[in-house]
Structure 1
Amino acid sequence: MSCPGERKTFPRAMLLLLLSFLFSITPVSKTNEENITFAYFLPTVEFAVNTFNQKSQEEYAYRVEHVLSSWREEVNFPTVYSMKLQLRRTLCKQFEESLDTCPFQMSYSLNNTFTCLFTIGTFPWVTQFKLYKYVCL
């Protein structure tokens, strides 16, 4: 025996189940161009930090604490990024390996943190960079 209401309940329940499944698997992704741009940006930031460390006369290395702002310049060739980075002194000496995981020094003295503006051109197919602008406060 079946009730007349049971026939309507099953299709409605299936519809709700399918709709909830569709909404849960809808991908949220960046466009292909944004992914490529981001892939070029990370090595450019690393080049900026290496340039800062090479030019500084400090015993200890610096690394990025915050990316304050960044943008891609409206230039067709090469790809040019401008970025404002907050760099902070680490406990590691200059040119040590694994600076990415090296802890920051605990003090926040004036000569421990720098805010720098870099403008760098990148040629990703040959892994070359060109420093156009470098100003630190």
Structure 2
Amino acid sequence: MLTCSAAVDSMFPKSILILGLIVLGLHACTCKFVDIAKSTTYFTLCVEFAVFQYNEAQPDEFAYKLLWVRRSQQKILSWTYLMDLDMGRTICKKHDEDINNCHLQEGPGKKTVSCTFVVNIIPVPIHFTLLNSTCLRMKIREDPVFSQETDFFYYGD
């Protein structure tokens, strides 16, 4: 017959093992990004922050504006967001008031970039940190049926 202390002694290693598996499981989950809606409040704020940071870092006097959000993700159990954005060069200067309503440049000034940003936000008080950014220029050809005011772009090879 087992005594009470013997039963506790045999359960102790099992409880340590279970606790360890729970901690490892939580750690594995916190590193993963999951898809979220593009309209999530903090995500949209992070997108605006990323576009602003991109414009500030460019020596170009013209502003780039958001054309398309290709990926919207959030790291599990955190305020870290991952986004793939396509942006186009506008006819407006980067410090103009309403860049979103500026027309895209045409002809030789036309440039489009595809960027991946990782942004962390502290909600109260709101503070943004750009953790990583990588951008590549894209080759774009527009279908003449669509105007520059649409979000339909075809990516060339």
What band does the TM-score fall into relative to the shorter chain?
0.5 to 0.7
Partner of 1:62: 64
Once the two structures are TM-superposed, the CA of residue 126 in structure 1 deviates from its matched residue by 1.2
Partner of 1:120: 119
Residue type at the aligned position of 2:52: N
1:19-64 CA distance string (max 9 Å, x none)? xxxxxxxxxxxxxxx78x8011111100000000000110100010
Matching of residues 1-137 of structure 1 within 5 Å: 38-74=40-76, 76-77=77-78, 79-107=79-107, 112-137=111-136
Structure 2: distance between partners of 1:122 and 1:67: 18
Aligned pair count reads 100
Partner of 1:25: none
Q: What is the DSSP-based 3-state SS (H/G/I as helix, E as strand, rest coil) of the residue aligned with 1:48?
A: helix
Once the two structures are TM-superposed, the CA of residue 87 in structure 1 deviates from its matched residue by 0.8
- Share of identical aligned residues, percent? 31
Structure 2: distance between partners of 1:125 and 1:133: 22
- After superposition, the Cα gap between the structure-2 partners of 1:67 and 1:107, relative to the gap in structure 1 and judged at 3 Å, is farther
Once the two structures are TM-superposed, the CA of residue 102 in structure 1 deviates from its matched residue by 1.1
- Structure 1 segments, 4+ long, off by >4 Å, are none
Q: What 5-or-longer segments of structure 1 have no aligned partner?
A: 1-33
Give the CA RMSD over aligned residues.
2.0
Structure 2: distance between partners of 1:88 and 1:100: 11
- After superposition, the Cα gap between the structure-2 partners of 1:96 and 1:87, relative to the gap in structure 1 and judged at 3 Å, is same
Q: What 5-or-longer segments of structure 2 have no aligned partner?
A: 1-35, 137-157
TM-score (norm 2): 0.59
